[in-house]
Chain A
């Protein structure tokens, strides 16, 4: 099964306008289209035709504002992931549909019902990227005073997934029908299920992105696929080895977990062209945008201060919404050296989110992917097109055929459910 499915798994992370914060300003970007159905139908069909395992959308539970000011130059089309994937289900036949949903400010009954609905309208293609909420502004939207302490967040996450499982198993008739399904623990008090219709894949594929030791343990216990940043082949191998070891420790078969590091990319027909495009991406992220980008990351509105001036570190640490200790560690070197806010922010926005960025030709990208797979650094990639939809279109037209010719990527789907595409077993 695994061979027919190819050695390389591809997931498409299609957030908003793409990876680069300035990408929405590219001449061939379509930033208005991301509010339209046709755009999502178009990109979903592309990915389905290219035999990717899945499409993934991230999620957040707060606005993008820093101290109440929403950025004016950052594109923030963060449409609800379930909604986008539900639209995509209607125009695709095979590709998996993975929604990011937090276990911190939700109830298992609602989340289980939503995934059951996505699983039904896609006939077995739903996946759940299980996250916990860490943004300091999120609790305020849910009438909660503060974030849960970190170890409690994972404790709740584990109990939450167990609770959702109760609903799915009951709907699929997998448990004793004469016993009332329920679950009682420190987090949940469930006395009955919701009797929703079920689908070929009884529950969504479980996906995780754990980085901390708690997060890695949670991922190794529950996930069938894992996202991670992996800037180098060594970092990828270390992470993959670590997760596989932890999975063995929990009595799981490590081959039942796919490791899918993020990979952003900019493609050109020549290396020079790709470099030119990358330079344009950086240029389009002007100082105003870069300053808002960092403002959002620390929860402090830096646009109040002169861009060419230094960081007022003490004021920032006193007022920022993110933990002051983290913010101080991040900004202290710049503040001490007198680096300007604009200079620091430009450098910060160049390499968003710590993921690997590839810039080059389709052949070079295929080589790189093959090298990583052969080195045991990953099972595939979570691709983040530099900007949308152009880079995704280029990847599907020019890289996918190379991967198929090399026997790395399936030429056609071997099954109909997302779990079939992962080829990691029956789940549970």
Chain B
């Protein structure tokens, strides 16, 4: 059973650094399996955190040395090229433990900050969300996994045939590539989706979070984390026992206490593979451009 928790700087805390370090170190000691840089809204939805997650993730993976660490990202306001580039580096520098969770939630706050041009009718939002993910992944596909050679003796640095323009054209995003960053060690960093944020998407997630009543609609093959608070813990443990969930995402003011107390009897799963993807038994994504098909 996986244990997951989110982390953020609380509202009103002006310089939340000391508190963030304290929380992080407690989470590391309690060995969470997933840590999500996100804030909790009421009704159990997640939203991008107060502290920008893509920049914070590389720092925090120096203190959180085991878990998969996910950045919550405003899906309607982010740029595929920037995200693809940053998460490539984050995945390399965390030895394949980087993950991302694009979210629709928190939109009003971002619309105001980014400008009215970003405002989008609710009905259109899922399409832009999926396009954002597809465009970002297309940029990761601009490099084959084995493009780098790095042979100082011969002077061969990479195989030019394994890096290409992808010319992605979607309804909201157009991007040429190639990305100026190598394909991440996981192929694609793990994709998380909050089913309470967006129940159905054309793009399947690797890991889903959901309230108990939505869990059954999880993407096929995804790791399923059920959201729990102290009040719902017992019922949710039942879902895991019955094979309807693979782990718990701990929420509420007592989430960290809950993690520590659960960890006194929940043994961390044995970590085999090198990357998060291997560790969770999720297959490596296929690069459609790669000649071998599997790289």
Contact = CB atoms under 8 A, between A and B. Distances in A.
Interface of A: 24-27, 29, 31-32, 35-37, 40-41, 60-65, 68-80, 82-84, 86-87, 89-91, 105-107, 109-110, 113-114, 116-118, 120-121, 123, 137, 140-143, 167, 173, 188-200, 284, 286, 288-289
Contacts of B173: 143
18 contacts: A37-B94, A62-B180, A70-B163, A72-B158, A73-B156, A76-B157, A79-B92, A80-B88, A90-B62, A109-B77, A113-B52, A117-B53, A120-B16, A137-B176, A141-B176, A143-B174, A191-B112, A195-B109
A114 B55 contact: yes
A359 B51 CA distance: 44
Given A35-B92, A110-B78, A188 B163 contact: no
A70 B174 CA distance: 20
B142 to A, nearest CB: 7
Interface stretch (B113-121, B193-201, B261-269, B276-284): B113-121
Interface stretch (B7-15, B238-246, B252-260, B287-295): B7-15
Given A79-B92, A141-B175, A118 B55 contact: yes
A117 to B, nearest CB: 4
Interface of B: 9, 11, 13-17, 20, 50-60, 62-63, 77-79, 81-82, 85-86, 88-90, 92-95, 109-110, 112-117, 142, 149-150, 152-153, 155-160, 163-165, 173-182
Dominant SS at the A interface?
loop
Contacts of A87: 58-59, 62, 93
A141 B83 CA distance: 12
Contacts of A191: 112-113, 115-116
A141 B93 contact: no
A83, A106, A137 pick with most chain B CB within 10 angstroms = A83
A91 B58 CA distance: 12
Nearest to B185: A35
Nearest to A200: B15
B106 to A, nearest CB: 10
A184 to B, nearest CB: 9
Contacts of A76: 157-158, 180
Nearest to B117: A189
B113 A83 contact: no
B164 A123 contact: no
Given A86-B58, A117-B52, A190-B113, A141 B177 contact: yes
A26 B155 CA distance: 10
Nearest to A39: B93
Contacts of B115: 107, 188-191
Given A75-B157, A80-B85, A140-B176, A86 B17 contact: no
Contact of B142 (A37, A60, A63, A72): A63
A70 B158 CA distance: 9
Nearest to B167: A140
Given A70-B158, A106-B82, A83 B58 contact: yes
